[in-house]
Chain A
Amino acid sequence: MQPKARQNLLRTSAHLGLLIASAFFLVPFLWMVSTSLKPVTQIFTYPPEMIPNPFQWSNYIEATQYIPFFTYLSNTTIITVFSTIGVVLSCPLVAYSFAKLEWKGRNTMFIITIAVMMIPMQVTMIPLFLLFNKIGWVGTPLPLIVPAFFGVPFSIFLMRQFFMGLPNTLRDAAKIDGASEFRIYWQIMLPLAKPAVLAVGLFQFMNVWTDFIGPLLYLTDESQYTLSLGLQQFQSQKGTEWGLMMAVSTMMTLPVIILFFFMQRTFIQGITFSGIK
């Protein structure tokens, strides 16, 4: 009886805490949406107003005409989808090797994997550009897609941490049944690590979706540009078109929100050990 009452109290306070914290985390997004609906003179009024008056829906139409929105959207989608596929295919495989297989040089390779993240990209981006320039990839989306198929250190590290948590007993049992290493990975381990794979995919999706410097350097034709390059076009010396810029930002954010909303369930789902053991 008593524990139940306590649990109810806990639940209510949890709801309350969540609500307060959500309000805090909701501010930037609400501000973005509200700005996207404001006429230009209303954006930075004093004192600030949160609710646009009147709602200027035309910002959205204007914004999609100010930049070739749909071209940029499809370019961004293509680059993002392919590079996400690349990461989802390559990183778990490599991470599995780091976490569960034993091989000479594994530790060294793992340390190198972490180490390459420690050099700021500001100093490696020029030589990398020269490299891609030499093989003739500058001006194509290839430099933004192909490397993902060979793995991204951040994602490899993250996946490795999850594979480390998977019990070896599973693997050993499969071994006794005569399964090959790849079969174990593909049919047992990978499905078990699904939440992590999805998380890694989501992060890659987000990073590439909003990447600015990569597309800036490698895409040379305006018809190949991405949305994050498009966002820059709302800024000029004479000021920023905040309303239009936020309209594009909002539209740019929506796909990721929707994606996240439907994927988040898998994160708690976790790995159902009970069924397997």
Chain B
Amino acid sequence: MKKKMEQSDQPLSAGGMINPKKKKSKVSGSSINGWLFASPWIIGLLLFYAFPLFSSIYFSFTTYSILSPGEFIGLDNYKQLMSDGLFWKSIYNTIYFAVFFVPLSIIIGVALAMMLNMRVKGMAVYRTIFFLPTLVPHVALAVLWMWLLNPGFGLVNGVLDAIGITGPNWLGSVTWSKPSLILMSLWAIGQPVIIYLAGLGDIPQELYEAADVDGASWLQKTFKVTIPLLTPVIFFNLVMGAIGAFQQFTLPYTMTQGQGTPDNSMTFYVMYLYDNAFKYFQMGYASAMAWILFIVIMLLTAVIFISSKRWVHYQGK
């Protein structure tokens, strides 16, 4: 395999795709290399992704139920969705979650990563601790939170009580159920934090030294050096965070036993999709939901990508 790759050695410059200003007209050799390097994934896409994706588009125009192929009904599934009350409710819930969770996860994630990047003794232990909640199985997390948030004897309201605040009913209240979930999800922030840490590690030390020479304050260094150079990974976590938030499923599903209680305030988009697909035998309907979700996330991601030209700075340029 190695030999195959050792063919072309043409010089070329590579601006990021985000910044395609100076494209070279010389493509020949490098283009082949590009395809060769990307070939495993392109083959993988064709083998493991193409068929399932195209099938699900087709299903979305049928009454497919997994157990029977169903019949072609054109756009009926999509039309029916427009007048489905729970569909809209689940959209509202999902957007609510995403709007609060994604920015919060970025702010808290970056802050934590910066804390964990300090040169302090015992950092290995601290880092491991912050990573721990990600490792606890979901079933256990769900139960633990129900227990912590119990209005009667839960730890959270106990602490609030001690400082003179009467805590809300958290998971039992239509108003507080989603904030509770956001809180829980922020707990498992270990993965983005590691990515930020790796990103921080990439920032050349000289830049800080230079800033020190210029007499920059900590705040200035943070906003003029750290954050700008962290934008490639912030960008990554923003995109992945948005995709993940819109597909929120396991934790609320486990916690409410799939019921989305109280009063459907925890029925998220993919939970409703799942019920349609696997409980009501409406895989066609569920597929239509999936493709609507696709369009929504796609638009959002497009906005992020287009705007990223303004705020994402790659060192490698």
Contacts and interface: CB of A to CB of B under 8 A. Distances in A.
Interface of A: 10-11, 14-15, 17-18, 21-22, 25-29, 31-32, 35, 44, 46-48, 90, 93-94, 96-107, 109-110, 112-120, 122-128, 131, 147, 149-151, 154, 156-158, 161-168, 171-172, 175-176, 178-183, 185-186, 195-196, 199, 202-203, 206, 210, 228, 231, 235, 240, 242, 245-246, 249, 252-253, 256-257, 260-261, 264-265, 267-271, 273-274
Contact of A93 (B37, B126, B128, B199): B37
Interface stretch (B76-84, B96-104, B169-177, B269-277): B269-277
A118 B293 contact: yes
B167 interface: no
B120 interface: yes
A28 B144 contact: yes
Contacts of A202: 194
Nearest to B60: A123
A157 B240 contact: yes
Contacts of B199: 162
B37 A94 contact: yes
B307 interface: no
A103 B30 contact: yes
B216 to A, nearest CB: 12
Given A11-B120, A165-B315, A181 B9 contact: yes
A19 B294 CA distance: 41
A206 B198 CA distance: 17
Given A25-B132, A182-B2, 15 more contacts: A21-B130, A32-B140, A96-B37, A103-B31, A109-B38, A119-B290, A149-B40, A149-B44, A157-B239, A162-B233, A168-B14, A180-B6, A228-B137, A261-B128, A268-B201
B197 A268 contact: yes
A123 to B, nearest CB: 4
A117 B243 contact: yes
B115 interface: yes
Interface string B9-33: 1111110111010011001001111
Given A120-B290, A245-B140, A154 B153 contact: no
A32 B136 contact: yes
Interface size class of B (residues with CB under 8 A): 35 or more
Nearest to A134: B51
A77 B42 CA distance: 28
B315 A175 contact: no
B298 A185 contact: no
B interface: dominant SS: helix
A124 B280 CA distance: 17
B207 to A, nearest CB: 10
Nearest to A47: B153
Nearest to A232: B139
B129 interface: yes
19 contacts: A21-B115, A29-B129, A29-B132, A97-B37, A99-B14, A101-B37, A120-B270, A127-B51, A150-B47, A164-B16, A168-B13, A171-B14, A180-B8, A203-B194, A235-B139, A242-B143, A265-B124, A267-B194, A270-B200
Contact of A109 (B9, B12, B42): B42
Given A28-B140, A115-B298, A183-B6, A268 B200 contact: yes
A276 B139 CA distance: 48
A126 B233 contact: no
B273 A168 contact: no
